[in-house]
Structure 1
Amino acid sequence: MTRRISAVSSRLWRLPAAALRRGALARRGLDASLRRGLVVLGLGLALAAAACSPIYRNHGYVPADDQLAQIEVGRDSREDVAQKIGRPSAQGLLNDVGWFYVQSRFEHFGPRVPKEIDRQVVAVTFNGNGVVDGVGRYGLEDGQVVAISRRVTETHIKGVSFIGQLLGSFGRVTADQLINN
């Protein structure tokens, strides 16, 4: 019976030791999963911070000041300006009195609408003979908001096809009108 008691007591002593070992292993597993979770959380935060950092984009071209210094007002022609600083992407549309070099810098920040943070415009104006009249540099602070009018001239020939228009004019012209002209 003493053997039996000693066997039972040795089992009792082993049980807490085994339970402690299992607890230590469980704690190690918890520590490993906690570490993995913290690493995943850290990577997620790093990606979120990188996604929210601003991205800058440049559009257009503006010649540098040293290139603009090569242009001689009152002496250089359009071709001289084209050779010295290149042709612009925009010209005066109605009267062709100037060349406009435009450069803009936009800030893209996450899902927000891009914001224009800088704009440079170089205007090279010409006189009637095509000779440089002036060179000016303007920034975003010099700009003005211009309201664009969306007025459109309506046509009065809605619903009438091209052939319908041709056939509709037959009765309006007489033979004596054609002969007298």
Structure 2
Amino acid sequence: MSAMTGKLRKTMKAAGLASAFAIAAGCSPMDRYYGFIPPAEEIATLNVGTTTKDEVIALFGPPVSDRALQNNTIYYASSQFEIFGPFEPEEVDRQVLAIDFDGNDTVRNISRYTLEDGRVVMLDRRVTEDGINDITFLSQLLGSFGRIDAGQLLGEEP
């Protein structure tokens, strides 16, 4: 009996140790990256006054925001979030590249902003509507009672 208790105790210790390692691994920070910022070497190839908007888009790809083209500015943005266990993700790095164009669609100014700059840049939010007009689950459930036909519940053919 004592040998079984010793084996059980060893098994419980091993299971506890494995659980502790699993919990520690699950709570290790993870990094998530969103968006795109062109490398500094490619940004250096842009010439103020000569590079056109079409050349910038061909070189870097489409901008983050379509609305920005109306203001004659292209934005490229990237963010890095650190996720630690069940806590809310924390943004640890953000970079925004703003390329301004003049009336002839040539580069006028190139600006780079980071999280430390604290400058707010309005970009388009692409949100797909779900079609539900703030109706709770209970309201949907109660609203469907009037549409139930007793004949359908009993399996009768109309």
Q: TM-score, normalised by structure 2?
A: 0.71
1:144 CA displacement: 3.7
> Relative contact order (C-alpha < 8 Å, sep 6+): which is higher?
2
| 1:56 and 2:38 are equivalent in the alignment | no
1:93 CA displacement: 3.9
Deviates more, 1:79-88 or 1:113-122: 79-88
1:31 CA displacement: 1.4
Structure number, greater radius of gyration? 1
Structure 2 Cα separation of the partners of residues 138 and 145 of structure 1: 10
1:123 CA displacement: 0.7
Structure 2 Cα separation of the partners of residues 27 and 97 of structure 1: 81
Larger proportion of helix: 1
For residues 67 and 93 of structure 1, do their structure 2 counterparts lie closer, same or farther at Cα, with a shift above 3 Å needed? closer
Instruction: Name the residue aligned to 1:115.
Output: 90
Structure 2 Cα separation of the partners of residues 91 and 139 of structure 1: 21
Gaps of 5+ in 1: 1-25, 147-181
Indicate which of 41, 47, 50 corresponds to 2:22: 47
RMSD over aligned CA atoms reads: 1.8
| Equivalent residues of 2:113, 2:119 under 8 A apart | no
Q: Deviations over 1:131-167 (max 9, x none)?
A: 1001121110012469xxxxxxxxxxxxxxxxxxxxx
Gaps of 5+ in 2: 122-158
Structure 2 residue identity aligned to 1:122: L
Structure 2 Cα separation of the partners of residues 80 and 111 of structure 1: 44
Instruction: Give every structure 1 segment of 4 or more consecutive aligned residues whose post-TM-superposition deviation is greater than 3 Å.
Output: 91-95
Identity, % of aligned positions: 34
| 1:128 and 2:128 are equivalent in the alignment | no
How many matched pairs?
Answer: 121
Structure 1 residue identity aligned to 2:8: S
Structure 2 residue identity aligned to 1:88: P
| 1:29 and 2:4 are equivalent in the alignment | yes
| 1:96 and 2:71 are equivalent in the alignment | yes
Q: What does 1:11-22 correspond to in 2, within 5 Å?
A: none
